[in-house]
Amino acid sequence: MDEPDGKRLYSYAEYLEQERTSPTKHEFLNGEIFAMAGGTPEHARLCLSVGAELRAHLRGRPCVVYSSDLRVRVQATGLSTYPDVSVVCGRIERDPEDTDAALNPVVLVEVLSDSSEAYDRGQKFAHYRCIPSLREYVLVSQHEPRIEVFHRNEDGSWTLREARAGKGVELQAIGCILSVDDVYRDPLAQAAPAAEG
Protein backbone atom coordinates (compact mmCIF):
# COMPACT_ATOMS: atom_id res chain seq x y z
CA MET A 1 0.00 0.00 0.00
CA ASP A 2 1.40 3.42 -1.04
CA GLU A 3 0.48 6.99 -0.25
CA PRO A 4 0.17 9.56 -3.06
CA ASP A 5 3.67 10.86 -2.29
CA GLY A 6 5.03 7.39 -3.01
CA LYS A 7 5.89 6.52 0.60
CA ARG A 8 5.40 2.82 1.30
CA LEU A 9 2.85 2.07 4.03
CA TYR A 10 2.81 -1.20 5.94
CA SER A 11 0.07 -3.14 7.63
CA TYR A 12 0.54 -3.98 11.30
CA ALA A 13 0.94 -7.64 10.33
CA GLU A 14 3.80 -6.71 7.98
CA TYR A 15 5.43 -4.69 10.74
CA LEU A 16 5.26 -7.64 13.13
CA GLU A 17 6.71 -9.98 10.52
CA GLN A 18 9.63 -7.60 10.02
CA GLU A 19 10.18 -7.23 13.78
CA ARG A 20 10.44 -11.00 14.25
CA THR A 21 13.49 -11.18 12.00
CA SER A 22 15.06 -7.76 12.54
CA PRO A 23 18.21 -7.36 14.67
CA THR A 24 17.07 -3.82 15.57
CA LYS A 25 13.82 -2.53 17.07
CA HIS A 26 11.33 -0.37 15.20
CA GLU A 27 8.39 1.83 16.11
CA PHE A 28 5.18 1.61 14.11
CA LEU A 29 2.69 4.43 13.53
CA ASN A 30 0.12 5.07 10.80
CA GLY A 31 1.60 2.48 8.46
CA GLU A 32 5.15 3.76 8.80
CA ILE A 33 8.05 1.88 10.39
CA PHE A 34 10.81 3.83 12.14
CA ALA A 35 14.16 2.36 13.21
CA MET A 36 15.04 3.04 16.85
CA ALA A 37 18.63 4.13 17.32
CA GLY A 38 20.89 2.24 19.69
CA GLY A 39 21.75 3.96 22.95
CA THR A 40 25.00 5.07 24.57
CA PRO A 41 26.63 3.08 27.38
CA GLU A 42 25.31 5.75 29.80
CA HIS A 43 21.79 5.30 28.43
CA ALA A 44 22.00 1.53 28.85
CA ARG A 45 23.34 1.86 32.42
CA LEU A 46 20.60 4.28 33.47
CA CYS A 47 17.85 2.10 31.95
CA LEU A 48 19.06 -0.92 33.89
CA SER A 49 19.59 1.12 37.06
CA VAL A 50 16.02 2.47 37.04
CA GLY A 51 14.65 -0.99 36.30
CA ALA A 52 16.68 -2.53 39.13
CA GLU A 53 15.56 0.13 41.63
CA LEU A 54 11.91 -0.35 40.67
CA ARG A 55 12.20 -4.12 40.85
CA ALA A 56 13.71 -3.92 44.34
CA HIS A 57 10.90 -1.62 45.52
CA LEU A 58 8.20 -3.85 44.02
CA ARG A 59 9.50 -7.20 45.25
CA GLY A 60 6.65 -9.25 46.70
CA ARG A 61 3.99 -7.07 45.11
CA PRO A 62 1.82 -7.90 42.07
CA CYS A 63 3.73 -5.63 39.70
CA VAL A 64 6.31 -6.60 37.08
CA VAL A 65 9.14 -4.42 35.75
CA TYR A 66 10.00 -4.93 32.07
CA SER A 67 13.06 -3.92 30.06
CA SER A 68 12.98 -2.23 26.66
CA ASP A 69 12.37 -5.64 25.08
CA LEU A 70 8.68 -5.26 25.94
CA ARG A 71 6.65 -3.73 23.14
CA VAL A 72 3.85 -1.40 24.27
CA ARG A 73 0.93 -0.58 21.98
CA VAL A 74 -1.22 2.52 22.32
CA GLN A 75 -4.55 1.31 20.97
CA ALA A 76 -6.08 4.79 20.72
CA THR A 77 -3.37 6.09 18.38
CA GLY A 78 -1.84 2.92 16.91
CA LEU A 79 1.69 3.60 18.14
CA SER A 80 3.78 0.53 18.92
CA THR A 81 7.08 1.22 20.63
CA TYR A 82 9.61 -0.02 23.18
CA PRO A 83 9.78 2.16 26.33
CA ASP A 84 13.09 1.95 28.19
CA VAL A 85 11.33 0.55 31.29
CA SER A 86 7.67 -0.42 31.81
CA VAL A 87 5.77 -1.44 34.92
CA VAL A 88 2.59 -3.51 34.68
CA CYS A 89 0.55 -4.25 37.80
CA GLY A 90 -1.78 -7.22 37.85
CA ARG A 91 -2.31 -9.37 34.78
CA ILE A 92 -0.72 -8.10 31.58
CA GLU A 93 -3.25 -7.17 28.90
CA ARG A 94 -2.06 -8.22 25.45
CA ASP A 95 -3.00 -6.60 22.18
CA PRO A 96 -5.41 -8.83 20.18
CA GLU A 97 -3.35 -8.22 17.01
CA ASP A 98 -0.02 -8.61 18.76
CA THR A 99 0.20 -10.95 21.73
CA ASP A 100 3.75 -9.77 22.47
CA ALA A 101 2.58 -6.19 23.06
CA ALA A 102 1.30 -4.89 26.40
CA LEU A 103 -1.65 -2.52 26.57
CA ASN A 104 -1.78 -1.70 30.29
CA PRO A 105 1.44 -0.23 31.69
CA VAL A 106 1.02 1.76 34.91
CA VAL A 107 4.45 3.42 34.71
CA LEU A 108 6.60 4.12 31.64
CA VAL A 109 10.20 5.33 31.77
CA GLU A 110 12.29 6.94 29.05
CA VAL A 111 15.96 7.81 29.46
CA LEU A 112 16.44 11.00 27.48
CA SER A 113 19.00 11.29 24.70
CA ASP A 114 19.90 14.29 22.55
CA SER A 115 18.22 12.72 19.52
CA SER A 116 15.01 11.62 21.28
CA GLU A 117 14.37 14.20 24.03
CA ALA A 118 12.02 16.44 22.03
CA TYR A 119 10.04 13.40 20.83
CA ASP A 120 9.92 11.79 24.30
CA ARG A 121 8.64 15.04 25.85
CA GLY A 122 6.27 15.90 23.02
CA GLN A 123 4.69 13.50 20.55
CA LYS A 124 5.54 10.31 22.39
CA PHE A 125 4.14 11.63 25.66
CA ALA A 126 0.98 12.66 23.78
CA HIS A 127 0.60 9.05 22.62
CA TYR A 128 1.35 7.67 26.08
CA ARG A 129 -1.31 9.91 27.66
CA CYS A 130 -3.88 7.96 25.60
CA ILE A 131 -3.11 4.74 27.53
CA PRO A 132 -5.97 4.46 30.07
CA SER A 133 -3.91 2.50 32.63
CA LEU A 134 -0.91 4.85 32.61
CA ARG A 135 -0.48 6.77 35.85
CA GLU A 136 3.11 7.98 35.69
CA TYR A 137 5.61 8.88 32.98
CA VAL A 138 9.23 9.12 34.12
CA LEU A 139 11.98 10.98 32.26
CA VAL A 140 15.61 10.38 33.25
CA SER A 141 18.34 12.80 32.14
CA GLN A 142 21.64 11.54 30.75
CA HIS A 143 23.38 14.88 31.26
CA GLU A 144 22.76 15.53 34.95
CA PRO A 145 21.29 13.68 37.95
CA ARG A 146 17.65 14.62 37.36
CA ILE A 147 14.44 12.58 37.28
CA GLU A 148 11.10 14.04 36.24
CA VAL A 149 7.78 12.33 36.96
CA PHE A 150 4.53 13.29 35.25
CA HIS A 151 1.63 12.03 37.37
CA ARG A 152 -1.93 11.65 36.06
CA ASN A 153 -4.44 13.22 38.44
CA GLU A 154 -7.99 12.05 39.05
CA ASP A 155 -9.35 14.68 36.66
CA GLY A 156 -7.04 13.53 33.86
CA SER A 157 -4.62 16.44 34.17
CA TRP A 158 -0.90 15.81 34.66
CA THR A 159 1.38 17.19 37.38
CA LEU A 160 5.16 17.36 37.08
CA ARG A 161 7.46 16.59 40.01
CA GLU A 162 11.23 16.46 39.69
CA ALA A 163 14.20 15.61 41.84
CA ARG A 164 17.92 16.21 41.57
CA ALA A 165 20.99 14.88 43.37
CA GLY A 166 20.41 14.14 47.03
CA LYS A 167 16.64 13.91 46.62
CA GLY A 168 14.04 11.34 45.65
CA VAL A 169 10.89 11.47 43.59
CA GLU A 170 7.71 9.62 44.52
CA LEU A 171 5.92 7.28 42.14
CA GLN A 172 2.49 7.41 43.74
CA ALA A 173 0.97 4.84 41.39
CA ILE A 174 3.22 2.09 42.71
CA GLY A 175 3.99 3.48 46.16
CA CYS A 176 7.75 3.91 45.97
CA ILE A 177 10.39 6.63 45.91
CA LEU A 178 13.16 6.68 43.32
CA SER A 179 16.36 8.02 44.85
CA VAL A 180 18.28 10.10 42.32
CA ASP A 181 21.60 9.18 43.94
CA ASP A 182 20.82 5.46 43.76
CA VAL A 183 19.79 5.63 40.10
CA TYR A 184 22.90 7.58 39.09
CA ARG A 185 25.41 5.82 41.33
CA ASP A 186 28.40 4.83 39.19
CA PRO A 187 30.93 2.49 40.83
CA LEU A 188 33.58 3.53 38.27
CA ALA A 189 33.29 7.21 39.18
CA GLN A 190 34.84 6.73 42.62
CA ALA A 191 38.03 8.70 43.18
CA ALA A 192 41.13 6.72 42.33
CA PRO A 193 43.26 5.80 45.36
CA ALA A 194 46.25 8.04 45.92
CA ALA A 195 49.57 6.59 44.78
CA GLU A 196 51.79 5.38 47.59
CA GLY A 197 55.00 7.34 48.03
Go through the domains of the chain in sequence order and give each one's CATH number. 1-36 (no CATH), 39-186 (3.90.1570.10)
Q: What is the pTM of this model?
A: 0.92
pLDDT tens digits, one per residue of 135-191 = 999 999 999 999 999 999 999 999 999 999 999 999 999 999 999 999 999 877 654
**Which residues make Cβ contacts (< 8 Å) with residue 12, sequence separation at least 6?**
28, 78, 80, 97, 98
192 pLDDT band, cuts 50/70/90, is very low
| Mean pLDDT, range 18-38, rounded to an integer | 93
